[in-house]
Structure 1
Amino acid sequence: MSAANSSVPADQHGGWMSFLKAIASFSGDLSKLTAPSFILSPVSLTDWGEHPEHFASIQAAATPEQRMVVVLRWFIATLKGQYTSRNTSMGSEKKPLNPVLGELFYGSWPATDKRGETKLIVEQVSHHPPITAYHLENKDAGVSVEGHSGQKTSFTGRSITVVQVGHAILRIKRDEGDEVYLISLPKLSIDGLLLGSPYIELTGSTSITASTGLTATINYSGRGYFSGKAHSFNASITSNKSKESLLDVSGTWSGSSVVKAGSLLPLNSVFWDADAIPREELSVKPIEEQGEYESRRVWRNVAEGIRKGDYGAASKDKSRIENEQRQLRKDEAAAGTKHQLKHFEYVESDSDYASLAPAISGLAPTSASYRFKSAAA
C-alpha cells in the first residue's frame, strides 16, 4: 500500500492491512464482518432525495415518453449523492454504519415557489440480513417512490462486490389512473482497496420500466485496472412493443451526460450535469428534538468520534450500541415477542412488481416488498 496515495491515517495502516486480510479469508456475506472505526462513515441510512425539484417535475411532463425522460434524469441525478458523496467529503469511500433494527430517519425539503414540500421517511426493517425501507413523497406534485434495499457483499480478490437486493416503485398520480414505474438497483464494486483509497463503481445494468409500456435501461462501466473512465454510463429508452429506441444518452453519472440519438431530446444536448446543479440538503430536526431511534441521535457519539479522528471513542460507543441491540433481541426472544415495524409492512408478493418485472430481463417474476403504511413521524 502506497502511503502517498492512501487515505488511511498513518497510525491506522496496520489495522487496514489486518482488515484486508480478514475480508480475504472471510467466508460468507461481508456485511456480517465488523469493520474498524477509521474506515466508517459518520452516517448510516441513505436516501434518493437530494434533487427534489426534479422529483416534483416528473408530474408536469406532458406525455408518457416525456415523463420517462424526466424519471430517467431524476434517477441519474440521485447516483452521485448516493455513491460518491462520502468519497468527496472524506477523501475516499467509507463504509456506512450498520443501522440498528428499527432505526428511523425523517427529513424534508421545504416548499418553494416552484414546488411543494417533499418528505422522506426511512426505516431499518431488518438487521440480519440488513434491509432498509424508504418512502419519498411530494403530495402536491402527486409523485412518490418507495422501496427497500439490502446487500449481499463478497470479496473478489481486488475489490468488494455488493449486490443490492430490492427494488423501488415510483408512482405518479394521474387523473386517468396512476402511472407506476419499477426501478431495479445497480451492483457496486468497491475498488482501490490495495492502495488504501477505496472508491465505488457501478457495474452491470439497471432498468426502469413503466405501466405505460416504456423501459429505460442503464448500462454502467468505469475505470478499469488499465483503462476506462470512472462512473461512465449509457442509457436508452425503448418501447416495450416495438423495441424502438426513443432516446440514447451517455456520459458520467457523477458528471455530465449528453444525448446521442433519439427523437425525444435535441441531439448533443446536455442530459444531466451533476456539477452544474448542486445537491439540495434536506431539513432535519435538531438532535435534541429527535426520538430515541432516530438515526443521528443513535449514532451521534460515534459520528463525532469519526469526524474528530478519535476512533477509540467511536469504537467504544459503537460497541455499546451493538451490545444493547443484541440484548434487546435476546429479551424479545425470551418474551416471545417480535419487533414491530413503525412505517412499513412486509408484503409477501408485490403486485406492482409482479406486473412490471417481466419487462426487465433477469428479474425474478415475483418479489416480496415493504409497503409504506403510515405518514406519522
Structure 2
Amino acid sequence: MGSPKKNQNKGFFASMTSGLSMFGNAIHRSVNGLLGYEGLEVINPEGGKEDAEEEAQKGRWRQEDRDSYWKMMQKYIGSDVTSMVTLPVLIFEPMTMLQKMAELMEYSHLLNKADECEDPYMRLVYATSWAISVYYAYQRTWKPFNPILGETYEMANHNGVTFISEQVSHHPPMSAGHAENEHFTYDVTSKLKTKFLGNSLDVYPVGRTRVTLKRDGVVLELVPPLTKVNNLIFGRTWVDSPGEMIMTNLTTGDKVVLYFQPCGWFGAGRYEVDGYVYNAAEEPKILMTGKWNESMSFQPCDMEGEPLPGTELKEVWHVAEVPENDKFQYTYFAHKLNSLETAPKKLLATDSRLRPDRYALERGDISKAGAEKSSLEERQRAEKRNRDAQGHKFTPRWFDLTDEITPTPWGDLEVYQYNGKYSEHRAAADSSDDVDEADVRSIKFNPWQYGNICNE
C-alpha cells in the first residue's frame, strides 16, 4: 500500500532544463506584482544562478562575499564537505550539532503518550509525530558548529528528560546521544554524510535512532529521509526533506511509512507528509497526514487505506508558538538549549554552551567568533598530533564503541552505546552538598584529553 500522495506533485518542470529558471524568475515578479503580496514564495526546485538575481538580495550574503565564497567552493562540487572545508563563521548559528540533536526532545511528551498508550498503532502515531516535530527546527538555514572531539552537551529540567550527547569521532565526524525519563530511553549514533552540488547540499543522515518505551519494553527504530539545503549561495536558502521516513516497531513488526513530498515549482507540495501505520502483515490501519512545519493528524482506515466511516481526522501534534522576527529563526526551545535554564548542576567543562566561538556569535561578535573558531580547530589538530605521537587512541567518556555494524540506506554505521557512566556522574553531582554558585561562564571550555593543549 503506497502513500496517498506519492505519485502526485512531483514538480512538472523539475525534469526540464535549467534554462526555464529565467521563466521562474519572471513569474515570481509578475505574480507578486499582480497580487501585491510580497510574501508569496515562488521556488525553483532546481535552484541555480539564473533565477537568483532578485532572490539573492534577500539573503544574508553581501554580493562580494557570495562571489568570493563561490570561487572557494567550486572545487568541492561532488565531494563530502563535512570535514574538508573551513567555512566562514557568518553562515553559522550559535549552536552545535550536539545541541541540534537535543532539539528532538522539545516535544518529548509525545513519547510519554506513546509509552502510556495501549493501542499498538496509536503508539506509532505518537512516536512518529514526535520524530516529525523536529523538522520545523531543521528548516533553519544557518549551519550549526561542528563539535570538537570530546565535546558534550547536557540538558536537564525539561519534561523530566536527562540528555547527554558526545562527539565520539572526528574523522569521520560522529556523535552519540542518550536521553531518558520515566517513560522512554532514546539512543542515537549519528554520522552525517554530505554531497556538495554547487548551489545545494545533500545531507544523508547515516545513523541509528532507537527509542525504548519502558512500560512494555517496546523498541522503535527510525530511518529518516535525507535533507537538501537549496540555494546555498544564489537565491533564498531553503531546506527540503524529500523521501520516506520509516519507523519500525522491532518488537511487533508494525511500522509507519510516511512520504515527505518534494517541493515543486511555486512551492507545490512543500512541507506535506502523508502515509500509513501498518501492522506486521503490512495492512494499513491508520492514515497520517499533515505538514512537517505545522501539524500532524490521523484517522483510522480500511484495508484500502480509505478513512473508516464514522471516524474523523484528529490532530495529534501542532507546532508550538515561535518568536517573531528571531535573528536565527530560533524557537523558544532552541533559545532554552543555549541558556543555563536547561543546564544541570555542575555543568561539564566539555559542554557546548561554554564554547567561546559559539558564545561570541550569540553575542553578535562575528570577528571574535571567527578567531575563536580557528583557535579551537587548531587546538584540535594539535591534540591529534600529540595523541598520534604517543600512540594513543581517543576514547569517548560516556559512550562505548561496540562491535556492531548496522546498515543504513546511505552506508554502514559503527554503533556507539551509552555506557551508563553519565547517569552515575549526574546522580553524584545532584546529591552533592557543594552549593558553589560560581558563574558558569567562568568555566573554561575544555574537551581536550591532554591538558597542555587547553593552555596553548
Shift of 1:317: 0.6
Shift of 1:194: 4.2
Alpha-carbon separation, structure 1, partners of 2:185 and 2:229: 30
Alpha-carbon separation, structure 1, partners of 2:146 and 2:298: 39
Task: Give TM-score scaled by structure 2 length.
Answer: 0.69
2:131 corresponds, among 75, 83, 89, to 75
Alignment of 1:147 with 2:188, yes or no, is yes
Alignment of 1:21 with 2:78, yes or no, is no
Alpha-carbon separation, structure 2, partners of 1:328 and 1:171: 37
Alpha-carbon separation, structure 2, partners of 1:236 and 1:21: 45
1:270 corresponds, among 315, 327, 336, to 315
Match of 2:254 in 1: 214
Q: Cα 1:153–1:61, aligned 2, differ >3 Å: closer, same or farther?
A: same
Alignment of 1:369 with 2:412, yes or no, is no
Contact 1:94 1:198 in 2 (8 A): no
Q: Which amino acid aligns with 2:296?
A: S
Q: Between Structure 1 and Structure 2, how many residues are aligned? A: 345
- 1:291-330 Cα offsets, whole Å, 9 max, x none, are 3311111x2x322432444322111110100001100011
Task: Give TM-score scaled by structure 1 length.
Answer: 0.83
1:103 corresponds, among 151, 156, 165, to 151
Alignment of 1:54 with 2:74, yes or no, is no
Match of 2:278 in 1: 238
Alpha-carbon separation, structure 2, partners of 1:164 and 1:122: 17
Structure 2 unpaired stretches of 5+:
1-52, 323-330, 427-456
Match of 2:432 in 1: none
Match of 1:42 in 2: 94
2:264 corresponds, among 194, 212, 224, to 224
State which structure, 1 or 2, has the greater radius of gyration over its C-alpha atoms. 2
- 1:54-109 Cα offsets, whole Å, 9 max, x none, are 2222211013222112111221223223x03xx3xxxxx11111101111001023
1:293 corresponds, among 335, 342, 350, to 350
Q: Which amino acid aligns with 1:21?
A: K
Contact 1:348 1:367 in 2 (8 A): no
Secondary structure (helix, strand or coil) at the match of 1:349 reads strand
Q: Cα 1:194–1:341, aligned 2, differ >3 Å: closer, same or farther?
A: closer
Alpha-carbon separation, structure 1, partners of 2:121 and 2:295: 22
Q: Which moved more, 1:31-40 or 1:303-312?
A: 303-312
Shift of 1:191: 1.1
Alpha-carbon separation, structure 2, partners of 1:268 and 1:276: 22
Spell out the pairing of 1:122-137 with structure 2 (5 A cutoff).
Answer: 122-137=165-180
Match of 1:90 in 2: none
- 1:174-204 Cα offsets, whole Å, 9 max, x none, are 35xx211111132010013244532221121
4+ runs deviating over 6 angstroms = 276-279
Contact 2:117 2:123 in 1 (8 A): yes
Give me the CA root mean square deviation. Answer: 2.7
Secondary structure (helix, strand or coil) at the match of 2:115 reads coil
Shift of 1:227: 4.1
Contact 1:51 1:279 in 2 (8 A): no
Contact 2:152 2:166 in 1 (8 A): yes
% identical equivalent positions: 23
2:342 corresponds, among 248, 263, 284, to 284
- 1:259-293 Cα offsets, whole Å, 9 max, x none, are 36527994322232214698654643389x53331
Secondary structure (helix, strand or coil) at the match of 2:370 reads helix
Structure 1 unpaired stretches of 5+:
88-92, 112-116
Shift of 1:17: 2.6
Alpha-carbon separation, structure 2, partners of 1:286 and 1:347: 28
